[in-house]
Structure 1
């Protein structure tokens, strides 16, 4: 079990730079998730760690070894891709043990390692089947098993659940979390799904345009975002981000119909702001300032989408089974103690 360290890592394609001086330490045994929108560089960074993309500048270390220029086979990593890449003519057992066979490992050792991996992944009853006889989730478990038998120092996952339906994704998230607990291995996982990131990670790395925006534990990022991007990306539904101005008694928020009284703002608070409010920190009241546009009724909780005339939309979380119908007029009240303040020009959090 080894950690991974990235020091001022840069990636360029010709004159185009896509990874900009990334600094990161993944501790041994940690489950680290790279998350961000499409095109942010998360898969490129993972492939650089694997050695599938050349590193233009900086250093990548696995354990005590500098692997920046090392061949992928010498890095001690195993990668699980979005596509299963199983050999259709081979059985599950043959697929899982193929890499060891190609490297000349004894048959008895291959059988023992495949058996151990199939126990962990609950694949024993499928070992003689071929991939066409498996479900998507079972095929992905075989792909993970192929990585386990190699005994890598670091597991790398590149959006491994993207091809699965919603129910299977939830099941496989549980399986991967259990696998991490049982193996205690270092895992780096790429996803664009921030819910997936929140449920799996010990540490989340939020990326945007090839730069690290913030690193931290899932709930730390949720509770204490550094900037507008992280605030709007982490959390489902997303934080409401609303233009505002500083006034004598607090902040004036046109989208909420007026002033939110705040007893004390930081002394360096500028006049031009963006305020953040989580959906659960806005309550529906009697009134007619806002119109309900859509309600996502999920049972014990509903997400109500509404807007004031000429203002941006807001999402409010409501508990209980009462459902606000589209077209209904409502009032809104924000919890002043739950406000997040951001500089409208820089996007940075005001603390």
Structure 2
């Protein structure tokens, strides 16, 4: 197996640029996830690596090879798509081995490789079935098996779980994580679901409007985001943001009734506006007369999400645990520790450190 390197990769469609000077180093055996909102360029970037989209400028290396202008079939990659793209008239076994058959591999070799992929993906009981007799999760495993049989240097996944229901998505997420652990291949995975990104990735690449916002391990991005966009995108529910003002070396937060936050962060000058970020689990809701109003409580068993309207009209979400019942519409007090607050420049949205 081998790694992937992008050097100032650019994609343009005529005068419209969609990928901007992407530099990226994905190490041998890493599970790298491209994540971001719809239209951010993550699938385009994946297709550029696959050779399905032409790279307008810059370079793409797979291992020691410059594959920028190499045909897709010769790049040593295998791609798993959102749609399973299985041949309906073929059995699972034939679907998985079809690529090798078309390339003239001996029948004995094909049978051996299909058997090994089937073992890894637990498909032995389904080899003689056709796709219509399989569930969505089983079909996706067949599509992954077809990729494994090819023995690629790099696996590429383009939102492979989007067509599955919630329970199957969780099951398949576990299957893909187990697969990576077993075969140790370099994998690049595209998703808009940051939960998938957090649970699968060794490395996450957060994209916005064709640009890389931040690259790092999941908890690195969660605990140390570079800007407001990354802070809000990584984490579920997302980070709450409220306005603050620098007063006397502290940050005053109108949303929390003028609460002052003491911090060692390098703040801008007196009277400057900043953005204060707080994770939902780091805020405590207290059932006494305060400046916030409990608008709605979503109960999810052991966890509940409280939707609150703050003193200045700002809306936030708080994660709560326990059985304390607070009536919707009640006035409540919101508490948090100063050290749990993040600060961002109000103009650039860059993290203040």
TM-score using structure 1 length: 0.98
Q: Which runs of 5+ in 1 are unaligned?
A: none
Instruction: Report what 1:333 is aligned to.
Output: 335
Instruction: Report what 2:297 is aligned to.
Output: 295
Instruction: Report what 1:91 is aligned to.
Output: 91
* Distance in 2 of aligned mates of 1:275 and 1:263: 12
When structure 1 is superposed on structure 2, of 288-297 and 197-206 the one drifting more is: 288-297
Q: 1:308 to 1:124 in 2, by over 3 A?
A: same
C-alpha displacement of 1:190: 0.1
After superposition, the C-alpha distances for 1:7-42 in whole angstroms (9 at most, x for unaligned) are 000000000000000000000000000000000000
C-alpha displacement of 1:301: 1.7
Q: Is the 8 Å Cα contact of residues 26 and 32 (structure 1) preserved in structure 2? A: yes
* Distance in 2 of aligned mates of 1:163 and 1:263: 45
Match among 295, 316, 319 for residue 318 of structure 2 = 316
* Distance in 2 of aligned mates of 1:263 and 1:223: 17
C-alpha displacement of 1:317: 1.4
* Distance in 2 of aligned mates of 1:89 and 1:45: 33
* Distance in 2 of aligned mates of 1:184 and 1:59: 25
Secondary structure at the counterpart of residue 289 of structure 2: strand
Q: Is the 8 Å Cα contact of residues 254 and 311 (structure 1) preserved in structure 2? A: no
Q: Is the 8 Å Cα contact of residues 79 and 147 (structure 1) preserved in structure 2? A: yes
Does residue 281 (structure 1) correspond to residue 291 (structure 2)? The answer is: no
C-alpha displacement of 1:300: 1.7
Q: 1:23 to 1:292 in 2, by over 3 A?
A: same
Instruction: Report what 2:145 is aligned to.
Output: 145
1:13-32 equivalence runs, <5 A: 13-32=13-32
TM-score using structure 2 length: 0.97
* Distance in 2 of aligned mates of 1:93 and 1:165: 25
1:206-217 equivalence runs, <5 A: 206-217=206-217
Q: Which runs of 5+ in 2 are unaligned?
A: none
Q: Is the 8 Å Cα contact of residues 249 and 261 (structure 1) preserved in structure 2? A: no
Secondary structure at the counterpart of residue 99 of structure 2: helix
* Distance in 2 of aligned mates of 1:269 and 1:121: 58
C-alpha displacement of 1:265: 4.0
Runs of 4+ off more than 3 Å: 267-270
Secondary structure at the counterpart of residue 326 of structure 1: coil
* Distance in 2 of aligned mates of 1:48 and 1:219: 28
Instruction: Report what 1:196 is aligned to.
Output: 196
1:16-165 equivalence runs, <5 A: 16-165=16-165
* Distance in 2 of aligned mates of 1:320 and 1:32: 36
* Distance in 2 of aligned mates of 1:263 and 1:89: 65
Secondary structure at the counterpart of residue 287 of structure 1: coil
* Distance in 2 of aligned mates of 1:117 and 1:323: 52
* Distance in 1 of aligned mates of 2:177 and 2:229: 27
Match among 344, 349, 352 for residue 350 of structure 1 = 352
Q: Is the 8 Å Cα contact of residues 260 and 334 (structure 1) preserved in structure 2? A: no
* Distance in 1 of aligned mates of 2:169 and 2:149: 23
Q: Is the 8 Å Cα contact of residues 121 and 141 (structure 2) preserved in structure 1? A: yes
Q: 1:293 to 1:267 in 2, by over 3 A?
A: closer
When structure 1 is superposed on structure 2, of 202-211 and 238-247 the one drifting more is: 238-247
Instruction: Report what 2:245 is aligned to.
Output: 245
Number of residue pairs matched by the alignment: 351
After superposition, the C-alpha distances for 1:273-302 in whole angstroms (9 at most, x for unaligned) are 001111111111222311111112122221
Instruction: Report what 1:6 is aligned to.
Output: 6
After superposition, the C-alpha distances for 1:97-129 in whole angstroms (9 at most, x for unaligned) are 000000000000000000000000000000000
C-alpha displacement of 1:66: 0.2
Q: 1:264 to 1:75 in 2, by over 3 A?
A: closer
